[in-house]
């Protein structure tokens, strides 16, 4: 295939089959759970499913037939000429943040690859602007051509497989990442549900057991499996200004994005990982949320902090700087302690009131119900303890520093993130302080920027407002004195 001659594409016909099968399975499940009682027999259900599958296949066929992708010198033009609607989408190459190659089960069976084009916009950041499925060879050639055109990267895909990863991520690292990379809240919730499931199993509370197991599966087990499948065989490398991340067990994904599309880089350490001296490296790149359930793409799964920092320095030196961060002053302790004491007191009052109400109404005659109910008192104590521990950790870790092209916020409490944010990517900025903060002469600030899932605010710790406003002043100064040049980010 020569792209100079052939510039108009249609999806590979197998997308009709994959769309039909995927939609058919979902519809059949919905039908099974909603209509199962009203159907007379199994044959009737089969006929209904058959009709639905035929309708879905027909719609998929019309979509396939009527959708064309034209690659010009400057843009991708996606046209869809349907009976009732007509669409004509123009995606300029300059707006592309990344081109992702996905190979899922269907792609592997049919020998195809799906190209996903993500634009640099906070609107629809969680879904690709356009997707195109082609025979694998054709998809690789098209991607190479686009890489050369959009990312100024001339290396063909076949050669990229020879490029060495910038950090060795073993599959043991991936397993550890899948368990310890989850937030502490998520891990604690999973553990609580596990304990609750065990307790309800011994107290013969069948409904409670099923609910606890389901909640544990949704909050902890499914994310663990999904993370394991996603980051298996992990590779990351940089060619010129393009970073490429490749991973996956059953469904291999290869994503490329220009360094100038990275808004911030974050070294994230959930509590247990931090105690083990391990960190995850993530980047905020617009349009990448579709592959990570709205989360930021991972530049390095959980590894030793020193190795991750070394990778960061080599992979994205544009945002890295040697920092001597300013820590939160002791003045920040008072507002945190007072607000958390009030919160702990409210929670304690509610839980003690619940305990007293139960004691009065049920009489609490048997030992077991007394033990169960006393968990309310224990919870009041444990929550207060957790809140004070949170204050201690926040005070110890939160800091900030300003570099030449980026600034650093260290935020969080149990889970600490060191986030390096480019001044040029700050969209707007808010400094805020409640009465307690104002009394102590401190404030926090929220920096708003485009993110993988649209936009987000990054909140700092508590510092003197004049110090925080220096960041906004630097953003303005870079715009007015020309250090910010929009052409660097096209």
Residue recorded with tokens 């790149």: 285
Return the residue of 29, 225, 428, 483 that touches another protein, per CB under 8 A: 428
x-or-dash string of contact with another protein, 379-418, rule CB under 8 A: ----------------------------------------
Contact 471, 446 (CB under 8 A): no
Q: Is 430 in the site for another protein (CB under 8 A)?
A: yes
Q: Is 217 in the site for another protein (CB under 8 A)?
A: no
Alpha helices per DSSP H over 135-180? 136-150, 157-160, 171-180
Return the residue of 205, 448, 459, 467 that touches another protein, per CB under 8 A: 448
Q: Based on CB atoms, which residue is closest to another protein, 252 or 369?
A: 369
Contact 417, 401 (CB under 8 A): no
Q: Is 489 in the site for another protein (CB under 8 A)?
A: no
Quick one: which segment of 89-97, 270-278, 306-314, 469-477 binds another protein (CB under 8 A)? 469-477
Q: How far apart are CB 354 and another protein at their closest, in Å?
A: 7
Q: Is 462 in the site for another protein (CB under 8 A)?
A: no
Return the residue of 455, 459, 474, 489 that touches another protein, per CB under 8 A: 455
Contact 299, 281 (CB under 8 A): yes
Quick one: which segment of 41-49, 89-97, 390-398, 450-458 binds another protein (CB under 8 A)? 450-458
Quick one: which segment of 39-47, 87-95, 239-247, 477-485 binds another protein (CB under 8 A)? 477-485
Q: How far is CA 91 from CA 74, 125, 128, 203, in A?
A: 9, 14, 11, 60
Contact 56, 27 (CB under 8 A): yes
Residue 195 makes CB contacts below 8 A (sequence gap 6+) with none
Q: Based on CB atoms, which residue is closest to another protein, 140 or 437?
A: 437
Q: Is 459 in the site for another protein (CB under 8 A)?
A: no
Quick one: which segment of 11-19, 155-163, 313-321, 432-440 binds another protein (CB under 8 A)? 432-440
Q: How many residues bind another protein (CB under 8 A)?
A: 38
Contacts with another protein in 111-150 (CB under 8 A)?
Answer: 121-122
Alpha helices per DSSP H over 271-424? 271-275, 305-315, 333-362, 367-397
Q: At what angle do helices 367-397 and 333-362 cross, to 10 degrees?
A: 170
Q: Is 156 in the site for another protein (CB under 8 A)?
A: no
Q: Is 260 in the site for another protein (CB under 8 A)?
A: no
Q: Based on CB atoms, which residue is closest to another protein, 121 or 205?
A: 121
* b/e map 15-32, b = 16+ CB within 10 Å: bbebbbeebbeebbeeee
Q: Based on CB atoms, which residue is closest to another protein, 325 or 441?
A: 441
Return the residue of 344, 391, 449, 462 that touches another protein, per CB under 8 A: 449
Q: How far apart are CB 383 and another protein at their closest, in Å?
A: 18
Question: How close are the terminal C-alpha atoms of the chain, in Å?
Answer: 29
Q: At what angle do helices 222-231 and 171-180 cross, to 10 degrees?
A: 150
Q: How far apart are CB 480 and another protein at their closest, in Å?
A: 6
| CA separation for the pair 196, 173 (Å, rounded) | 30
Q: Is 104 in the site for another protein (CB under 8 A)?
A: no
Q: Is 213 in the site for another protein (CB under 8 A)?
A: no
Task: Indicate the burial class of 368 (C-beta count within 10 angstroms; 0-12, 13-18, 19 or more).
Answer: exposed
Q: Based on CB atoms, which residue is closest to another protein, 205 or 472?
A: 472
Return the residue of 180, 332, 437, 453 that touches another protein, per CB under 8 A: 437
Contact 288, 373 (CB under 8 A): no
| CA separation for the pair 163, 101 (Å, rounded) | 17
Tokens of 362: 């049920």
Contacts with another protein in 268-297 (CB under 8 A)?
Answer: none
Return the residue of 166, 431, 459, 489 that touches another protein, per CB under 8 A: 431
Contact 192, 215 (CB under 8 A): no
Quick one: which segment of 5-13, 174-182, 266-274, 449-457 binds another protein (CB under 8 A)? 449-457
Contact 335, 443 (CB under 8 A): no
Return the residue of 441, 467, 474, 489 that touches another protein, per CB under 8 A: 441
Q: Is 480 in the site for another protein (CB under 8 A)?
A: yes
The set of long-range contacts for 468-475, using a CB threshold of 8 Å and a minimum separation of 24, is 468/400, 468/431, 468/443, 468/444, 469/431, 469/445, 470/402, 471/402, 471/407, 471/423, 471/426, 471/429, 471/445, 471/447, 472/426, 472/429, 472/431, 474/402, 474/407, 474/423, 475/423, 475/424, 475/426, 475/429
Return the residue of 16, 56, 142, 443 that touches another protein, per CB under 8 A: 443
CA geometry: angle at 418 spanning 181 and 319, to 5°? Answer: 115
| CA separation for the pair 279, 305 (Å, rounded) | 5
Q: Based on CB atoms, which residue is closest to another protein, 150 or 475?
A: 475
Binding residues for another protein, rule: CB under 8 A, are 121-122, 353-354, 357-358, 361-362, 426-435, 437-441, 443, 448-450, 455, 457, 465, 469, 472, 475-476, 479-480, 484, 486
């Amino acid at each position: 295939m020569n792209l100079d001659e052939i510039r108009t594409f249609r999806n590979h016909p197998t997308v009709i089959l994959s769309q039909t099968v995927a939609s058919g399975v979902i519809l059949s499940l919905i039908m099974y759970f909603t209509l199962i009682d009203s159907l007379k027999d199994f044959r009737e259900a089969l006929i209904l499913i058959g009709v639905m599958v035929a309708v879905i296949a027909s719609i998929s066929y019309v979509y396939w037939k009527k959708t064309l992708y034209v690659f010009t010198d400057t843009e991708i033009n996606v046209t869809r000429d349907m009976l009732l609607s007509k669409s004509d989408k123009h995606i300029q190459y300059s707006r592309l943040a990344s081109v992702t190659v996905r190979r899922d089960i269907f792609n592997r069976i049919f020998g195809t690859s799906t190209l996903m084009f993500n634009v640099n916009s906070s609107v629809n950041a969680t879904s690709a602007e356009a997707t195109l499925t082609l025979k694998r060879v054709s998809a690789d050639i098209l991607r190479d051509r686009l890489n050369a055109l959009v990312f100024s990267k001339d290396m063909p895909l076949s050669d990229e497989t020879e490029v060495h990863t910038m950090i060795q991520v073993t599959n043991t690292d991936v397993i550890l990442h899948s368990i310890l990379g989850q937030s502490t809240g998520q891990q604690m919730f999973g553990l609580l549900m596990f304990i609750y499931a065990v307790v309800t199993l011994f107290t013969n509370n069948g409904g409670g057991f099923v609910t606890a197991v389901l909640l544990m599966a949704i909050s902890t087990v499914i994310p663990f499996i999904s993370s394991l499948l996603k980051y298996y065989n992990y590779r990351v490398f940089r060619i010129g200004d393009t970073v490429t991340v490749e991973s996956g067990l059953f469904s291999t994904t290869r994503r490329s994005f220009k360094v100038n599309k990275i808004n911030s880089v974050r070294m994230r350490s959930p509590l247990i990982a931090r105690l083990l001296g391990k960190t995850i490296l993530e980047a905020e790149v617009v349009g990448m949320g579709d592959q990570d359930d709205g989360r930021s793409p991972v530049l390095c799964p959980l590894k030793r902090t020193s190795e991750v920092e070394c990778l960061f320095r080599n992979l994205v030196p544009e945002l890295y700087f040697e920092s001597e961060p300013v820590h939160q002053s002791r003045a920040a302790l008072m507002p945190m302690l007072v607000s958390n004491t009030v919160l702990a007191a409210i929670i304690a009052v509610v839980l003690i009131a619940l305990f007293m109400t139960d004691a009065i109404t049920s009489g609490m005659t048997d030992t077991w119900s007394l033990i169960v109910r006393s968990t309310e008192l224990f919870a009041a104590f444990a929550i207060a303890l957790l809140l004070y521990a949170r204050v201690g950790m926040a005070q110890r870790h939160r800091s900030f520093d300003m570099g030449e092209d980026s600034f650093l916020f260290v935020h969080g409490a149990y889970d600490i993130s060191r986030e390096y944010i480019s001044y040029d990517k700050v969209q707007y900025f808010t400094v805020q302080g409640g009465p307690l903060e104002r009394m102590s002469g401190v404030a926090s600030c929220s920096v708003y920027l485009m993110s993988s899932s649209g936009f987000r605010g990054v909140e700092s710790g508590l510092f003197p407002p004049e110090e925080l406003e220096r960041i906004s002043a630097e953003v303005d100064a870079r715009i007015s004195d020309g250090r910010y040049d929009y052409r660097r980010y096209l």
